[in-house]
């Protein structure tokens, strides 16, 4: 009898060990236990029908979970979300721009970790580096999962290039300056009659903060240290270069602070180049369906340096207040999976954040530039999105108005950003 018990006990022990080994070898692939309940998701920008397709696919395999999506206007979304969460009336899942993470970290419930769960290592092997930089906390917590990532690129007017005898778009920033000078024309009074590139000022250049961030990253002028922004000498060099395009005293002068919006000017054909995101393609075509333009990779500082770009995206995060955290995380896991991401990316025409989908490539001529660019995307720890953008605008304006040189403007910018950092 005792021998029989021992044999049975030994068999059970072996089975337990085998299960543990399989679980260890299959890290990131062990499904969570089934959850039940309702999950309310709040977002901005994306229409309900886009997410409804993803939700329908999710609920087909998670029939005990009901998901609803509510869309809000981007303007006022942050204040509304903060107020509702403070009242205890917030959603289970809310979309967060990656530049909000530092400010709103206390509102996010990270992925619960258990044996065989999706690990930090799994995250880094699944998603691009920029997502890992933003969404893995210093404590090793996974705060969310991205579905897409957009990056900057050079948009150029092919008709204007052809007329000037320029066969190829510039690949380096010094080439951008040279090409812009060839395409910029000034009137007798020094006013710009034709612009080579819409660059240099703050409020009438769309994505000025993102462009400045990319330049600083390329020049090694900004990084994140212990969750805080740290500026190097390259930051001042980047600011000086950027503002030179809106300074009448500089040879790169091609843009005026009084000019129209940069995207409008490009769509109208009054400027030959602009820096934009994949999301700008449809906006340009909506303004001018007949514009003959093409898209090239974001220019870099030098061929010998590793390329760098700015990654722009928002992602779903689980609220600390959610009563259905397990179900909420299961939805996020699905939305960022291949099955969830592919229909979303097809509907929104956005580049993927998953490495396997980047490797698969795209058949879209418009988006071909953006697919590999996502791998070079980077970001830095933005303490407060709205305040940071205002401070960058003030630094640009200070240089253009000559109330500060680039080095002094960066020094002041760094000091002000430190005051915003928790």
At residue 143, the 3 state secondary structure works out as coil
Query: The tokens 């005293």 sit on which residue?
Result: 249
Q: What integer pLDDT is reported at residue 6 of this predicted model? A: 42
Burial environment of residue 387 by CB neighbours within 10 A (0 to 12, 13 to 18, 19 or more): middle
Chain centroid, CA 332 distance in Å: 18
Cα(195)–Cα(262) distance, rounded to whole angstroms? 10
Among 348, 318, 335, CA closest to 62: 335
Query: The tokens 């991205």 sit on which residue?
Result: 146
The answer for residues whose C-beta is within 8 angstroms of residue 355's C-beta and 6 or more apart is 125, 126, 127, 128, 375
Domains 37-149+313-371 and 151-311+383-420 share a fold: yes
Q: Please, what are the averages of pLDDT over each run of 10 residues along the chain (422 residues)? A: 45 39 35 72 93 95 95 94 95 96 95 84 96 92 96 98 97 97 93 96 96 95 82 94 97 94 97 97 97 97 80 96 95 96 94 96 93 94 95 97 97 93 75
Structure letter (DSSP) for residue 366 = T
Cα(67)–Cα(332) distance, rounded to whole angstroms? 11
Considering the domain delimited by 151-311+383-420, tell me its CATH architecture: 3-Layer(aba) Sandwich (3.40)
Contacts of 89-92 with C-beta under 8 Å, sequence gap 24+, read: 90/42, 90/319, 90/321, 91/40, 91/41, 91/42, 91/319, 91/322, 92/38, 92/39, 92/40, 92/41, 92/318, 92/319, 92/322, 92/323, 92/324, 92/325, 92/327, 92/328
Q: What integer pLDDT is reported at residue 2 of this predicted model? A: 46
Residue 284 · residue 265 · CB < 8 Å: no
Q: What integer pLDDT is reported at residue 155 of this predicted model? A: 98
When the candidates are 3.40.50.620, 3.40.190.10, 2.40.128.50, 3.40.50.300, the CATH number that belongs to 37-149+313-371 is: 3.40.190.10
Q: What integer pLDDT is reported at residue 305 of this predicted model? A: 67
CA torsion angle for 381, 385, 390, 392 (degrees, to 10)? 30
- pTM score over 0.85: yes
Burial environment of residue 389 by CB neighbours within 10 A (0 to 12, 13 to 18, 19 or more): middle
Any idea where the domains of the chain sit in the sequence?
37-149+313-371, 151-311+383-420
| β pairing state of 192-197 and 150-157 | unpaired
Burial environment of residue 327 by CB neighbours within 10 A (0 to 12, 13 to 18, 19 or more): buried
Residue 115 · residue 363 · CB < 8 Å: no
Element (H, E) at 186: strand 185-186
Residue 149 · residue 131 · CB < 8 Å: yes
Cα(95)–Cα(33) distance, rounded to whole angstroms? 24
Cα(201)–Cα(247) distance, rounded to whole angstroms? 9
């Amino acid at each position: 009898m005792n021998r029989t018990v021992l044999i049975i006990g030994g068999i059970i022990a072996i089975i337990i060990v085998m299960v543990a080994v399989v679980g260890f070898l299959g890290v990131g692939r062990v499904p969570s236990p089934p959850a039940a309940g309702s999950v309310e998701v709040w977002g901005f920008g994306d229409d309900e029908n886009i997410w409804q397709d993803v939700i329908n696919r999710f609920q087909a395999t998670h029939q005990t979970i009901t998901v609803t999506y509510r869309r809000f206007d981007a303007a006022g979304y942050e204040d509304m979300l903060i107020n509702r969460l403070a009242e205890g009336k917030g959603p289970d899942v809310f979309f967060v721009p990656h530049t909000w993470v530092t400010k709103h970290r206390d509102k996010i419930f990270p992925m619960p970790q258990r044996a065989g769960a999706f690990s930090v290592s799994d995250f880094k092997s699944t998603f691009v580096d920029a997502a890992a930089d933003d969404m893995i906390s210093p404590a090793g917590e996974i705060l969310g999962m991205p579905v897409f990532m957009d990056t900057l690129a050079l948009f150029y007017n092919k008709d204007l290039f052809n007329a000037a005898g320029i066969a190829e778009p510039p690949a380096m920033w010094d080439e951008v300056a040279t090409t812009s000078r060839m395409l910029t024309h000034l009137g007798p009074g020094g006013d710009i009659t034709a612009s080579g590139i819409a660059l240099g000022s703050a409020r009438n250049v769309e994505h000025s903060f993102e462009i400045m961030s990319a330049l600083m990253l390329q020049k090694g002028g900004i990084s994140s240290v212990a969750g805080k922004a740290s500026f190097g000498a390259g930051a001042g060099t980047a600011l000086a270069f950027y503002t030179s395009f809106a300074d009448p005293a500089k040879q790169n002068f091609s843009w005026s602070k009084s000019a129209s919006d940069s995207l409008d000017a490009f769509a109208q054909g009054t400027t030959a180049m602009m820096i934009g995101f994949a999301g700008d393609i449809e906006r340009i075509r909506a303004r001018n369906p007949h514009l003959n333009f093409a898209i090239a990779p974001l220019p870099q500082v030098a061929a010998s340096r590793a390329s760098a770009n700015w990654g722009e995206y928002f992602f779903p995060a689980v609220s600390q207040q959610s009563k259905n955290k397990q179900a909420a995380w299961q939805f996020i896991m699905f939305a960022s999976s291949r099955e969830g991401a592919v229909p979303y990316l097809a509907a929104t025409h956005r580049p993927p954040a998953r490495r396997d989908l980047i490797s698969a490539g795209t058949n879209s001529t418009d988006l071909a530039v953006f697919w590999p660019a996502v791998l070079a995307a980077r970001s830095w720890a933005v303490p407060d999105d709205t305040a940071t953008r205002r401070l960058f605008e003030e630094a640009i304006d200070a240089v253009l108005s000559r109330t500060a040189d680039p080095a002094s403007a960066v020094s002041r910018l760094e000091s002000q950003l430190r005051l915003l950092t928790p």
